[in-house]
């Protein structure tokens, strides 16, 4: 496990609270706006920040994030811009930065090169949802060699054995999808969801982060009994989009949003 990730999770556990991870799309709607949004989330108290490098076919994402990815790409986003964004954030914030993207990007860029650039920029972990551990072209090994977390994903329907396999192979924490489907849909934590969270909790040897559909303070509170970190993505991207369209102070809007969620 990356030392920064490990230390942060220990801090969260020792404080008796649930951790929080925000999400931005690098370059959405442009580089400057995404940097301001990221800074707002960090200053609002986010423990982790997931920075998504946009891809033209984001299969795990719903319309909100998909549309943001398209906008960033239309505006000329390049992979180097994503690394630059992380470098800029690390100069101004202690929030732990993770990169989320898709297999096509890292395979085309070159896995070893992508991992090394991620480390150089200051990222502490990678989240690649469409790369199964059995066919990862050496990603897990390369990440381990470079001391960056390769965060694997557990999805509803995974068996107890599969959860144990994923938590043994991955590092950092186990990203747990709250429900079937794509990101951004409303997620009610019903009996089925809670049983799923219990299954993961009872079988993961890694800390647990839960995402997909989280948008309220109440949902974050509900998750405290089941996981270590709550992940919010589409809801924050919607707020970024609204702030840009209505010419609001993006940094301040995101800072206030996160503060209100966590306090």
In angstroms, how far is CA 25 from the centroid of its own chain?
10
157 dihedral zone (left: phi>0; alpha: psi -120 to 50; beta): left
Q: Tokens 């990007």 belong to which residue?
A: 105
Reference 157, options 178, 136, 171, 173; nearest CA is 178
CB 167 within 8 A of CB 217: no
Catalytic, 30? Answer no
Residue 177 lies in a domain: yes
Q: Mean pLDDT, to the nearest integer, of 66-71?
A: 80
Identify whether 263 is part of a domain: no
The total of structural domains in the chain comes to 1
**Residue 72 and residue 61 in contact, taking contact as beta carbons nearer than 8 Å:** no
**Local structure of 257: helix, strand or coil:** helix
Tokens standing for residue 174: 């186990």
Q: Which pLDDT belongs to residue 185? A: 47
pLDDT confidence of residue 58: 53
Residue 182: band (very low, low, confident or very high) from pLDDT cuts 50, 70, 90 = very low
What angle in degrees, to the nearest 10, is found between the helix axes of 79-92 and 31-43? 40
Q: Is residue 260 part of a domain?
A: no
- Indicate if the pLDDT at residue 151 is higher than 70: yes
| 251 membership: H or E segment, kind and range | helix 250-262
Q: Is residue 41 included in any domain, yes or no?
A: yes
Give the pLDDT mean for 4-26. 95
Structure letter (DSSP) for residue 11: H
Residue 178 has pLDDT above 90, yes or no: no
Alpha carbon distance 246, 65 (integer Å) = 19
CA atoms within 13 A on the CB side of 170: 29
Question: What average pLDDT does range 182-196 have in this prediction?
Answer: 68
Hey, CA dihedral for 184, 186, 188, 192, is it positive or negative? negative
Domain that holds residue 152: 3-255
Over the stretch 202-213, which tens digit does the pLDDT of each residue have? 999 999 999 988
Instruction: Point out the catalytic residue in the list 43, 47, 50, 66.
Output: 50
Residue 18 sits in a domain of what CATH number? 3.20.20.70
Tell me if 262 is assigned to some domain. Answer: no
In a domain, 243, yes or no: yes
Dihedral through CA 160, CA 166, CA 172, CA 174, nearest 10? -50
- Taken in order 225, 189, 97, 142, the sign of the CA dihedral is positive
Which residue in 119, 104, 122 sits closest to 59, CA to CA?
104
pLDDT of residue 256: 97
Distances 251 to 28, 35, 43, 242, 244 between C-alpha atoms, Å:
13, 8, 9, 12, 11
Each residue's pLDDT tens digit, 20-39: 999 999 999 999 999 999 99
242 is annotated as an active-site residue: no
Q: Which DSSP helix (H) or strand (E) runs through 54?
A: none
Q: Within a domain: residue 102?
A: yes
What does DSSP assign to residue 95?
Answer: P
User: What CA–CA distance (Å, rounded) separates 40 from 254?
Assistant: 5
Q: Catalytic one among 43, 47, 61, 81?
A: 61
Query: Is residue 56 in a domain?
Result: yes
Contact status, residue 5 vs residue 219, Cβ threshold 8 Å: no
């Amino acid at each position: 496990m990356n030392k920064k990730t490990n230390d942060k999770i220990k801090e969260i556990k020792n404080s008796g609270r649930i951790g929080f991870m925000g999400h931005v799309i690098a370059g959405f709607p442009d580089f400057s706006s995404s940097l301001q949004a990221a800074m707002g989330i960090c200053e609002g108290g986010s423990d982790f920040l997931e920075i998504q490098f946009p891809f033209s076919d984001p299969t795990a994402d719903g319309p909100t994030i998909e549309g943001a990815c398209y906008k960033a790409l239309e505006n000329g986003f390049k992979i180097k811009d994503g690394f630059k964004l992380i470098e800029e954030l690390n100069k101004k914030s202690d929030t732990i930065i993770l990169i989320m993207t898709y297999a096509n990007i890292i395979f085309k860029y070159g896995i070893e090169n992508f991992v090394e650039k991620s480390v150089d920029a200051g990222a502490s972990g990678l989240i690649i949802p469409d790369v199964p551990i059995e066919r990862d072209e050496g990603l897990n090994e390369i990440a381990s060699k470079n001391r960056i977390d390769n965060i694997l994903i557990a999805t509803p329907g995974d068996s107890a054995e599969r959860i144990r396999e994923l938590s043994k192979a991955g590092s950092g924490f186990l990203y747990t999808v709250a429900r079937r489907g794509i990101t951004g849909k409303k997620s009610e934590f019903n009996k089925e969801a809670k049983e799923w969270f219990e299954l993961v909790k009872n079988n993961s040897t890694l800390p647990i982060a839960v995402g997909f559909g989280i948008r309220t303070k109440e949902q974050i509170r509900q998750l405290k009994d089941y996981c270590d970190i709550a992940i919010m993505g589409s809801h924050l991207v919607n707020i970024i989009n609204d702030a840009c369209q209505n010419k609001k102070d993006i940094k301040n809007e995101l800072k206030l949003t996160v503060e209100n969620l966590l306090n």
